Every structure is written in structure tokens, then in C-alpha cells.
Structure 1
Amino acid sequence: MEGAVYLLCAATALTCGLLLLRGFLRTRTRLLLWCAVCFLALFAETVTLFADRIIFPDADLVLVRRSLALAGGTVLVYGLVWDTPRR
């Protein structure tokens, strides 16, 4: 049951990332790109969580998981703060 929840979360993050990427390719709004990259990093983090907890329970992938989540959050903050139009 636990593995199914991780896979559903990964599928949701992947779907969001791909939809945001499709929106970026249509409109070229850069904020959509940063959000898409963030969600794709969260997808990778969730897949790593699934691998850590279900496939390789003896392995410790905490550093990899947190690095992916930090990278996704950092990209999103960059897009929100430094890449927004100035008034």
C-alpha cells in the first residue's frame, strides 16, 4: 500500500511537470519553465523515495532525496525572485 502512494505521488508530480512544460512551450512564459523544472525535480525525488523505501530498504538515499528536493525548490525560488519582470 505504501508503495502505491509513492507511485501515485510521483505520477501526479510528473503530470504537473509535463503540463507546465507544455504550457511553457506554447506561451514562452518563463515562470512556467521554472515551475515545470521544480515539479520534475520533485518527481525525481519521489521516485528516489520509492526506491529508498520499497526497492532498496537497506540503502540510505536520504541525501539524494533531499538534494533533489532542494534543487527543485531552489529553481522555483530563482524563477519567482530573480526572473520576474521589473516594474
Structure 2
Amino acid sequence: MAEAIYGLCMFTSLACAWLLLASYARTGHRLLFWSGLCFGGMTLNNLILILDKLIFPHVDLLTLRLVAALISVSLLLYGLIYEKE
């Protein structure tokens, strides 16, 4: 059951990233760009989670997952603070 949940979370993040970046390509709103990059990073975070828990259970990838999440949220935070519309 965990495999299905991890996979669904990853594909949901990927769909959100794709939709946000496609909307940015149409409208040019910069916040959509930063949000799309954040969700792209969250997709990477979920992929690393799948690798950590299912593929390589004896290897600790927690630090790599936390770095990916930190970079993702930092991108969104940068977009929220420094982008003006």
C-alpha cells in the first residue's frame, strides 16, 4: 500500500508542476514559474523518498530528501518575496 501512496504523491506533484509551468508559458506570471519549480523539486523529493524507502531500504537518503525539499521551498519563498507583479 505504501508503494501506491508514494507513487501517487509523486505523480500528483509532477502534474501540479506541469500545469503550473504550462500556465506560466501561456500567461507569463512569474509566481506560476516559481510555484512550478517548487513542485518540480517536490517531485524530485518524492522520487528520492521512493528510492529511499522501496528501492534502497538500507541506504539512508534522508539528508538528500531534506536538501531537495529545502531548495524547493526556498525557490517558492524567493518568488513570493522578490517577485513583483
What secondary structure is seen at the aligned counterpart in 1 of 2:42?
Answer: helix
- Structure 1 residue identity aligned to 2:16: C
How far does residue 84 in structure 1 lie from its aligned partner after superposition?
Answer: 2.3
Quick one: percent identity of the two aligned structures? 39
Partner residue in 1 for 2:2: 2
RMSD: 0.6
Q: Which amino acid aligns with 2:72?
A: G
Residues 11-33 of structure 1 deviation map (CA, whole Å, 9 limit, x = unaligned):
00000000000000000111000
Match of 2:15 in 1: 15
Q: Which runs of 5+ in 2 are unaligned?
A: none
Matched position secondary structure for 1:24? helix
Tell me the number of residue pairs that the alignment of Structure 1 and Structure 2 aligns. 85
Q: Structure 1 segments of 4 or more deviating over 2 A? A: none
TM-score normalised by L of structure 1: 0.95
Structure 1 position 3, deviation (Å): 1.0
Unaligned runs of 5+ in 1: none
